[in-house]
């Protein structure tokens, strides 16, 4: 194994160990109550549980495939212990996932991604996305009455044209790339 791969394995193992220790030392960091409803930050155990369920496997089947006890799988899913790096890689393979995705697996996010992928072009055109998103972000409903959109149109149009000219993008692709660039600038100033 090359040095970089060994470092990655050690880093992942240290990260998993740190998460397990933090869950024992500071469980409130990983779980908190919001108006008497349990809300939890995704834990490795929950990721393992949801990935196993999504794969349609029982704890017994996973244990048999890995040559371990069902109780070990249960302890992983309850965040009482951690799989070692070899076992984590085997789990990722068994669940048809990359190791990175398994560690960060979130069923809700996965379901949203799958739902978006299944929506047809026809259906997408029927949805008023501004109306939908303005339920979560009210500014999307109010800004057209507040912002002088015409002040921004020439600059944005020039940026779209530049993307089309420089990279040969079609209109929609240029729009999506520009939107993504803006999102990156906003999230990583």
Three-state SS for 105? Answer: coil
Higher pLDDT among residues 110 and 53, named by residue: 53
Whether the CA torsion 130, 132, 137, 138 is positive or negative: it is positive
Predicted pLDDT at 104: 79
Closest CA to 125 of 64, 158, 160, 172: 172
- Residue 33 confidence class, pLDDT cut points 50, 70, 90: very low
Strand partners, 33: 38
**Average pLDDT along the chain:** 80
Predicted pLDDT at 152: 92
- Residue 29 confidence class, pLDDT cut points 50, 70, 90: very low
Strands (E), the chain: 31-34, 37-40
> With contact defined as beta carbons under 8 Å apart, do 95 and 47 qualify?
no
pTM: 0.47
Distance CA 134, CA 87 (A): 44
| Of the candidate ranges 88-102, 122-136, 170-184, the one whose mean pLDDT is the lowest | 122-136
Closest CA to 175 of 163, 184, 188, 187: 163
- CATH 1.10.260.40 location in the chain: 3-112
* Integer angstrom CA distances of residue 166 from 1, 153, 163, 169, 170: 41, 20, 5, 8, 11
Predicted pLDDT at 30: 40
- Name the CATH architecture for the domain at 3-112: Orthogonal Bundle (1.10)
Neighbours of 19 (CB within 10 A): 16
| Of the candidate ranges 45-49, 66-70, 106-110, the one whose mean pLDDT is the lowest | 106-110
Q: pLDDT tens, 69-106? A: 999 999 999 989 999 999 999 999 999 999 988 887 77
């Amino acid at each position: 194994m090359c040095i970089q791969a060994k470092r990655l394995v050690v880093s992942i193992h240290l990260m998993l160990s740190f998460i397990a220790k933090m869950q024992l030392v500071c469980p409130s960091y990983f779980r908190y109550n919001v108006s008497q409803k349990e809300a939890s930050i995704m834990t490795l155990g929950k990721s393992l549980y949801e990935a196993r369920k999504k794969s349609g496997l029982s704890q017994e089947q996973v244990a048999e495939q890995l040559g371990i006890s069902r109780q070990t799988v249960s302890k992983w899913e309850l965040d009482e212990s951690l799989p070692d790096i070899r076992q984590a890689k085997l789990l990722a393979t068994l669940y048809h996932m990359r190791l990175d995705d398994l560690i960060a697996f979130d069923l809700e996010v996965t379901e949203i991604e799958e739902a978006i992928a299944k929506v047809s072009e026809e259906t997408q055109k029927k949805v008023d996305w501004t109306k939908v998103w303005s339920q979560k972000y009210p500014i999307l409903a109010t800004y057209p009455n507040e912002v002088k959109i015409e002040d921004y149109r020439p600059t944005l149009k020039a940026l779209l044209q530049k993307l089309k000219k420089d990279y040969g993008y079609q209109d929609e692709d240029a729009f999506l790339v520009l939107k993504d660039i803006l999102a990156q600038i906003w999230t990583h100033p």
